[in-house]
A = this chain, B = another copy of it.
Amino acid sequence: MIWTYVSLIVAAIAIAVAAYFYKWVEKLPVAEGKIAGIGQLIRQGAFTFLKVEYRILAIFVSVVTVIIFVIFPSPIWEGKVGPNIIAALSYILGALFSGIAGYVGISIATIANVRSASAAKSGLAPAYMAGFRGGAVMGMAVVSTALAGTALLHLLTGSADIVMAFSFGASSLALFAKAGGGIFTKTADISADLAGKVELGIPEDDPRNPAVIADNVGDNVGDVAGMGADLFDSQVAALAAALVIAAPLGQIQVIFCFSALGLLASIIGVLVARVSDTGDPGKALNSGTLLTCGVFAVLTLVATLLSGFEVRIWGAAIIGLVVGVIIGFTSDYFTGDGKKPVYKVAEACQNGPAFTILTGFSYGLVSIMPSIIGIGLAALGAYKILEPLGGNFPMFGISISAIGMLSIIGMIISNDAYGPIVDNARGLAEMGDLGDDVLDITDKLDAAGNTAKAITKGFAIGAAGLTVIALLGAFQEVVKGITGDVIEFSMMDPLVFFGALVGAAIPAVFSAMLMIGVNRNSQKMLEEIHTQFDTIEGLKEGKEGVAPDYDKCIDIATKGAIKELIPAGLVSILLTLIVGFVGGVLAVGGFLIGNIVTGLFLALLMSNAGGLWDNAKKYIEEGNFGGKGSDAHKAAVIGDTVGDPFKDTAGPSINTQITVVSLVASIAASLFVVFSIF
């Protein structure tokens, strides 16, 4: 049990580091002028959203808690109530821990944004540190709570199934946080851009724009809280899948070992991260990631040799990690500044918006291939490397490669949360009139954030891909536990094939519902903005002392987000249940397979096409192909607007959708076995 305890200790260290960084950032000075007040508005807006979201979530979690109590791990009418109470409590705990991590993230991000903007007055290095350490608080908070929660539950109950319930709690929250936050942020972003930049010709982040605070709030609730919940969810799901598969093999300890050392490597990575005033913040982020990978590889090899784990297991973890890094850098190629795809899309903008869309969409389609083959190779390699150990070890290999890929997640989240913080800092610098020098620095920080984000997204999708394959293995294990049979999910079985086709349609419908939601909300917010411009005197002209009603826009985004995401989430869950009760575990297995395949397909397509359009627009704004205001720029803005819900709402929410559905399948498996029609 030593590595379970080590996990708890490392998690405690990570929490201490987070607390230290939190204090460190909090103590940084705030520039004089309007900036503190505006920062306060953003902070309040973010917490308003969180409050509404958590209230709805509480209802959802309560309902699901009752359902879990009734059916999991075995239906209560079979007589054993004790484990069900524990499972229900674990479910609540999963949601709670993820919620706390999100809360901490929002809290630090809305402090760090103001500090980073203020620090930019003294140069790039201090501004970078404020942003990065703010992000690191989030990174440490997420990973430590995920690992500590899992370790604690396993220590107390000794059951891997219970961790599934914990994971489902985390997924429930992630679905709300990621999809809801995604709808919020893009509703605000699109409306602010259309009303401000396109219709009125005022700059981005202009304080006259009623949607401008909502836009900055969106960065926090979508990119910080949403992304944090998403990766919390991925990590716990990977742990849960690995534990379920590892339990019969007696390999629990190696999972905690690798996870603990991964977190330790991330702690080292975030502590040593630095940049000089003349340095490149993008390179600083990437070299931190690579350092963390190296530390992880060495630490785990030493631990493997000392603890007598199979070296092949270490190999599987490293395969996952290496493929993760490769996928990350591949998505950087497809969306990165200065690379061919971005250039081609920018070039196509000259021929009008139709060509912008077609070219971006086409390269988005092409970008699927390397990542999806990478995931396939990682799974194949991890399976094959553990095949000589026999039994279910090969499947365990896939789950451990997911653990490997997610090992450095603490560092990844830190980099990723840095993005919205400095993005906010840029907005604050603009709204707070901090001057052009500060804007230059925050622009540089922001650009580095975008590159880091592309890599993180590739990483997140890759890890999710391996995790959901492992969850499929876990589902097989769960069914074996119930029926005693190993089901193979043969695609020549019509139930499996039928399930696969239904499952394939889920990510499409789910993402369509989110995007239609963004559309609908943006319309409402645009109407509100027009009303304010028409009724508040002097607002358009920027008269001294006249301010728009920011809260109304925040309110529209909040209510709309919650309203739109609930049907999308329910459709996914209900269809899983319908397929299960109609076609039984075979159909559900197929359903998961179809869901994984098209889910990865669509997630990669949308994330990468969206990133491409965004960066093509930026490339034109740098003065290429006519620069700002040209027809090419107008076409690029249209591409970017299409890409917004692609890359920040639908694309990244699909991961969560797949995880939720996989866990629902495992949790309801005992019912499918008994009650299905076929």
Query: Does A290 interact with chain B (Cβ within 8 Å)?
Result: no
Q: Give which listed residue, B352, B379, B512, B594, contacts A363 with CB less than 8 A.
A: B512
Query: Does A7 interact with chain B (Cβ within 8 Å)?
Result: no
Query: Does A419 interact with chain B (Cβ within 8 Å)?
Result: no
Q: Which residues does chain B contribute within 8 Å of A605, judged by CB atoms? A: 508
Q: Which residues does chain B contribute within 8 Å of A373, judged by CB atoms? A: 501-502, 505
Q: Which residues does chain B contribute within 8 Å of A598, judged by CB atoms? A: 504, 597-598, 601
Query: Does A282 interact with chain B (Cβ within 8 Å)?
Result: no
Q: Are B597 and A501 within 8 A (Cβ)? A: yes
Query: Does A498 interact with chain B (Cβ within 8 Å)?
Result: yes
Q: Which residues does chain B contribute within 8 Å of A368, judged by CB atoms? A: 504-505, 508-509
A57 to chain B, nearest CB (A): 25
A328 to chain B, nearest CB (A): 18
Stretch at the interface among A206-214, A268-276, A489-497: A489-497
Q: Which residues does chain B contribute within 8 Å of A369, judged by CB atoms? A: 505, 508-509
Query: Does A556 interact with chain B (Cβ within 8 Å)?
Result: no
Q: Are B498 and A380 within 8 A (Cβ)? A: yes
* Complex: A383 Cα to B372 Cα, angstroms: 31
Q: Are B357 and A357 within 8 A (Cβ)? A: yes
Q: Are A642 and B354 within 8 A (Cβ)? A: yes
Q: Which residues does chain B contribute within 8 Å of A600, judged by CB atoms? A: 501, 504
Q: Give which listed residue, B198, B363, B366, B495, contacts A380 with CB less than 8 A.
A: B495
A159 to chain B, nearest CB (A): 24
Q: What residue of chain B has the Cβ atom nearest to residue A357's Cβ?
A: B642
Q: Are B476 and A512 within 8 A (Cβ)? A: no
Q: Are B515 and A362 within 8 A (Cβ)? A: yes
Q: Are A494 and B348 within 8 A (Cβ)? A: no
With most chain B CB atoms within 10 A of its CB, the pick from A190, A362, A518, A589 is A362
Q: Are B508 and A365 within 8 A (Cβ)? A: yes
Q: Which residues does chain B contribute within 8 Å of A497, judged by CB atoms? A: 376, 379-380, 469
Query: Does A395 interact with chain B (Cβ within 8 Å)?
Result: yes
* Complex: A526 Cα to B348 Cα, angstroms: 13
Query: Does A384 interact with chain B (Cβ within 8 Å)?
Result: yes
Q: What residue of chain B has the Cβ atom nearest to residue A504's Cβ?
A: B597
Q: Give which listed residue, B361, B494, B512, B513, contacts A515 with CB less than 8 A.
A: B361
Q: Are B511 and A355 within 8 A (Cβ)? A: no
Query: Does A353 interact with chain B (Cβ within 8 Å)?
Result: yes
A183 to chain B, nearest CB (A): 13
* Complex: A39 Cα to B594 Cα, angstroms: 49
> What is the number of residues of chain A that contact chain B, defined by CB distance less than 8 Å?
78
Query: Does A656 interact with chain B (Cβ within 8 Å)?
Result: no
Q: Which residues does chain B contribute within 8 Å of A496, judged by CB atoms? A: 491
Q: Are B194 and A352 within 8 A (Cβ)? A: yes
Beta-carbon contacts of A330-361 to B below 8 Å, as 1s and 0s?
A: 00000000000000000010011111011101
Q: Are A597 and B509 within 8 A (Cβ)? A: no
A616 to chain B, nearest CB (A): 14
* Complex: A194 Cα to B635 Cα, angstroms: 15
Q: Are A498 and B377 within 8 A (Cβ)? A: yes
Query: Does A638 interact with chain B (Cβ within 8 Å)?
Result: yes
Q: What residue of chain B has the Cβ atom nearest to residue A486's Cβ?
A: B492
Q: Are B375 and A501 within 8 A (Cβ)? A: yes
Q: Which residues does chain B contribute within 8 Å of A376, judged by CB atoms? A: 497-502
Query: Does A410 interact with chain B (Cβ within 8 Å)?
Result: no
* Complex: A505 Cα to B373 Cα, angstroms: 8
A401 to chain B, nearest CB (A): 11
Q: Give which listed residue, B359, B395, B601, contacts A504 with CB less than 8 A.
A: B601
Query: Does A611 interact with chain B (Cβ within 8 Å)?
Result: no
* Complex: A276 Cα to B309 Cα, angstroms: 83
Query: Does A523 interact with chain B (Cβ within 8 Å)?
Result: yes
Given known contacts A357-B642, A519-B348, A642-B357, A601 and B494 CB-to-CB distance under 8 angstroms? no
Q: Give which listed residue, B366, B490, B494, B518, contacts A383 with CB less than 8 A.
A: B494
A481 to chain B, nearest CB (A): 16
Query: Does A86 interact with chain B (Cβ within 8 Å)?
Result: no
Q: Are B353 and A638 within 8 A (Cβ)? A: yes
Query: Does A529 interact with chain B (Cβ within 8 Å)?
Result: no
Query: Does A458 interact with chain B (Cβ within 8 Å)?
Result: no
Query: Does A561 interact with chain B (Cβ within 8 Å)?
Result: no
A499 to chain B, nearest CB (A): 8
Q: Which residues does chain B contribute within 8 Å of A523, judged by CB atoms? A: 351
* Complex: A352 Cα to B498 Cα, angstroms: 39
* Complex: A348 Cα to B519 Cα, angstroms: 9
Query: Does A557 interact with chain B (Cβ within 8 Å)?
Result: no
Given known contacts A589-B491, A598-B601, A515 and B358 CB-to-CB distance under 8 angstroms? yes
With most chain B CB atoms within 10 A of its CB, the pick from A376, A489, A509, A515 is A376
Query: Does A394 interact with chain B (Cβ within 8 Å)?
Result: yes
Query: Does A473 interact with chain B (Cβ within 8 Å)?
Result: yes
**Docked complex: A501-549 residues within 8 A CB-CB of B:** 501-502, 504-505, 508-509, 511-513, 515-516, 518-519, 522-523, 526
- Can you list the 10 inter-chain pairs with the closest CB atoms, starting with the nearest? A376-B501, A354-B641, A383-B494, A488-B490, A365-B512, A365-B508, A362-B512, A369-B505, A376-B498, A380-B498
Q: List 19 A-B contacts (CB under 8 A).
A: A358-B515, A359-B519, A362-B513, A362-B515, A362-B516, A362-B519, A363-B512, A364-B512, A368-B505, A373-B501, A376-B498, A376-B501, A380-B495, A394-B494, A472-B492, A488-B490, A488-B493, A489-B491, A638-B638
Interface residues of A (CB under 8 A from B): 190, 194, 198, 348, 351-355, 357-359, 361-366, 368-369, 372-373, 375-377, 379-380, 383-384, 394-395, 398, 469, 472-473, 476, 488-502, 504-505, 508-509, 511-513, 515-516, 518-519, 522-523, 526, 589-590, 593-594, 597-598, 600-601, 605, 638, 641-642, 645
Apart from A358-B645, A488-B488, A504-B597, what 6 extra A-B contacts exist at CB < 8 Å?
Answer: A358-B518, A361-B512, A363-B512, A369-B508, A508-B601, A597-B597
